Structures are given as structure tokens and as C-alpha cells.
Amino acid sequence: MKRGSQAVLLLSLVGWFLNPTVRAEDDPIKVELAAIRQQQEELKAEVAALRADIAAIKQMLEGQSSATNTAGTATLADLDKQIKALAADVKALRSGRDQQQPPPDTTIYDIAVANAPYRGPAEAPVTIVSFFDFQCPFCIRENATFKQLLEKYPNDVRVVIKHFPLPMHAKAKPVHAASILAQKQLGNDGFWKFYDLVVANPKAIEIADLRKHAESLGMDLAEFDATLADTQKIDLLVAEDLNEGKKCKVTGTPTIMINGLKIPPRARNMEYYEARIKEIKEGKKAPTAAQPGAEKPAEEKAAG
């Protein structure tokens, strides 16, 4: 390098050190560092503002919490009063409902059961008759109670089914007609086999479902198809039991009678059944008193 060039370079370096403003503006790294420092200062200001906001919110919440503690006690007291008032209203409604219940039917009905399907000994001292609707969920539910009774009192209890499809259950009549056909073709055991198939899946009661049951039991499918395709034939099959139910003042299902006496819907529980069975075995014709037990849905009423 020539002496003149060296001198120029030396003078430039001296100027660079002696003039920091020029140094910062001309050096891109220094420019970038300055921008970063400015962003840091801006971020510090934002953080400080956020901290101030958080402190204000915290103070506000603490004030509300203190007020809520005082108001909350009063609110809970009000809720307690409202709950007690509602409980009193429910009690009054139940009392009024019980007072509006019609007096129990104490008639001893002579029910024709000679041709009806039954489970248990034919000569059992206790005959439980159920006016039954295959589409009634309460009837299906009662089946479990009957099974318990038959298992516990194998020599004392007979359960009889009377067909009582309600008008509001459009699918019920064909099911009853099909079960009557099963009894006609296969006897008492055939009915109960068909009955058990339906009760095991009570929502599957379309004609196709019933036909599968009939086929599985070896029923005459030609008669089955001809009967279930004819509403008049269906009506004829269920007419006898429907008339019997009307004679016994049956208005809903299940209507259950023990040795001809209706049991109150709210007494459909094992405790009542067992007490009544005991009374009959001891020679008493009518229950001595209403038996306690868990409340059940009364029954499904016939429309109209």
C-alpha cells in the first residue's frame, strides 16, 4: 500500500472514533441495536401499564368478593325459604291429589278365566288376574313382580292374563291377536313362549317382528298372515276379554285383581302382594288394611 493511501485510511479511522454520531448512523449493526433498545423501552412501558391494569382489576374483585360474602348469606337464606315453601306446596298438592282419588272398588268380581292363559297351578288358592296391554310399559314392568311371586309361591299363586289393548295403543291389538293365535295353535305353553319373546323386547312389535316370533315357535304362518292382515279377525280375537274388562269396570292397564278384588295401583309392590297372599291363605277374603310400599305409576288410562 502506498504512503498516501495509508494516510487517508488513518485519518478516516481517527474520524470514526472521534465522531460517534456518524459512527452509529453509518454502522448498520449499531442502527439495529438502537432500534432494539427502543423496542425494549416500549415493551417496558406496556408491561408497566398492564401491571397497573391488573392491580386495578384485583382491587375491584376484592371489593366485590367482600360484598358478595355479605349478600351471599342473605341469598342462601332466601333460597332456603323458597325450598321450604316449595316443599309445603308439593305436600299440599299430594294431599289434594290423594283426597281426589276415587274410593277403592271393593267389589269381588267373578272373572271368567277358564280359557285364559295362566302360569302356576290351576288349583292355586291365589289367582292374580292382570288386564294387560302389550304396549303398556307399566304392564311390562309388572311382569318382573309376577315372576318373583311365582318363584316364591310355586304352589299358592296362579297368574292369569286377560287381553285389554287400550285404544290409544295402535300396535297393541295385533300383538294380542298374535299371542291368542299362539295359544290357539300351541296351547297354554305356546302363549307364554310368545309372551316372553314380546316382553323381552317390547318395542319390537311390528307385524314383521311378530311373524318372526311365530316362525320361531313353529306356528301356522298361513293362519297368522291371514289373521293379522284382517282387522275384523283381530277385533274378534280380543273382543271377549275387552268385554270382560268392561264388565269389571277396567279403565286402564294394568288392572290387577287378586281373587276377584282390585288392588290399588299404588299398592302394586311385593309387600302388598305378599300380605294379601298371606291373608288369603289364612282364610280372609278381603285385605284388612292398605299395605304400605313404594309408590308406582297408577296405570295407563283408556282414551275417551
| Residues sharing a CB contact under 8 Å with residue 272, sequence separation 6 or more, in sequence order | 263, 291, 293
**DSSP element (H, E) containing 257:** strand 255-258
Mean pLDDT highest for which of 190-204, 263-277, 287-301? 190-204
CATH number of the domain to which 255 belongs: 3.40.30.10
Q: Look at residue 276 and tell me whether its pLDDT is greater than 90.
A: yes
The residue segments making up the domain with residue 260 are 118-301
171 pLDDT above the threshold of 90: yes
Q: For 203-245, how does the pLDDT look when each residue is reduced to its tens digit (9 = 90+)? A: 999 999 999 999 999 999 999 999 999 999 999 999 999 999 9
Same domain? 132 vs 259: yes
Point out the domain boundary residue: 76, 104, 137: 76
Same domain for 58 and 188?
no
Share of the chain above pLDDT 90, in %: 56
Contact indicator for 172, 134 with CB cutoff of 8 Å: yes
CA triple 150-151-153, angle to 5 deg: 65
Is 195 found in the same domain as 64? Answer: no
Domain end call among 76, 102, 128: 76
H helices of the chain, where? 3-18, 20-26, 28-100, 137-152, 172-200, 207-216, 221-228, 231-247, 270-281
Q: HSE of 174 in the Cβ direction (CA atoms, 13 Å)?
A: 19
Average pLDDT value for residue range 29-33? 57
In whole angstroms, give the CA distance from residue 137 to residue 117. Answer: 20
292 and 168 inside one domain: yes
Residues 68 and 155 occupy one common structural domain: no
Same domain, 160 and 42: no
Which residues are within 8 A (CB) of 253 and not within 5 positions of it... i.e. 6 or more apart?
A: 131, 132, 133, 136, 138, 139, 164, 166, 299, 300
Q: How many domains does the chain have?
A: 2
CA dihedral 72, 75, 81, 85 (to 10 degrees): -140
Q: What is the DSSP secondary structure assignment for residue 263, as one 8-state letter?
A: P
Task: Output the pLDDT for position 59.
Answer: 74
Examine the domain organization and report whether 158 and 215 are in the same domain: yes
Of 298, 275, 277, 229, the closest CA to residue 128 belongs to 277
94 belongs to a structural domain:
no
Do residues 143 and 159 make contact, with C-beta atoms less than 8 angstroms apart?
no
Asked if residue 8 belongs to a domain, the reply is yes
Report the alpha-carbon distance of residue 109 to residue 247 in Å, rounded.
9
Q: What is the pLDDT of residues 48-103, one digit of tens each?
A: 777 777 777 777 776 665 555 555 555 677 777 777 767 766 666 665 555 556 68
- Range from 35-44, 182-191, 210-219 carrying the lowest mean pLDDT: 35-44
